[in-house]
Amino acid sequence: MTKPFIAGNWKMNTDSRSSVSLAEAVAARTTGLAGRQVDVALCPPFVYLGPVFRAVGNSSIAVGAQDVYFQPDGAFTGEVSVSMLKDMGCTYALCGHSERRHVIGESDELVNKKVTAAVSGGLLPILCVGELIEQRKAGRTTEVVTGQVKNGFAGLSAEKALAVTMAYEPVWAIGTGLTATPQQAQEVHALIRELIGRIYDSRLADEIRILYGGSAKPGNAAALMQEQDIDGLLVGGASLKADDFIDIIKAAV
Ligand code: PEP
- Per-residue pLDDT, 148: 98
For atom 6 of ligand 1, which residue has the closest CA?
236
Residue 1 pLDDT > 80: no
- Per-residue pLDDT, 145: 98
> 215 alpha carbon to ligand 1 midpoint, in Å?
6
* 174 ligand 1 Cβ < 6 A: yes
* 129 ligand 1 Cβ < 6 A: no
For atom 2 of ligand 1, which residue has the closest CA?
236
Residue 95 pLDDT > 90: yes
* 7 ligand 1 Cβ < 6 A: no
Q: Mean pLDDT throughout 134-154?
A: 98
> 227 alpha carbon to ligand 1 midpoint, in Å?
19
pLDDT in tens, 182-234: 999 999 999 999 999 999 999 999 999 999 999 999 999 999 999 999 999 99
> CB 70: neighbour CB atoms within 10 A?
20
Question: Which of 98, 101, 169, when mutated, tests ligand 1's pocket best, judged by the most ligand atoms within 8 Å of its CB?
Answer: 169
Nearest ligand 1 atom to the CA of 173 is 10
pTM: 0.97
For atom 8 of ligand 1, which residue has the closest CA?
236
> 94 alpha carbon to ligand 1 midpoint, in Å?
12
Name the band, by pLDDT with cuts 50, 70 and 90, for residue 20: very high
CA neighbor of 94 nearest in space, from 74, 113, 67, 129: 67
Question: Which of 6, 9, 247, when mutated, tests ligand 1's pocket best, judged by the most ligand atoms within 8 Å of its CB?
Answer: 9
Active site residues: 97, 169
> 89 alpha carbon to ligand 1 midpoint, in Å?
23
Angstrom distance (rounded) from CA 86 to CA 118: 10
Name the band, by pLDDT with cuts 50, 70 and 90, for residue 154: very high
> CB 225: neighbour CB atoms within 10 A?
21
Name the band, by pLDDT with cuts 50, 70 and 90, for residue 179: confident
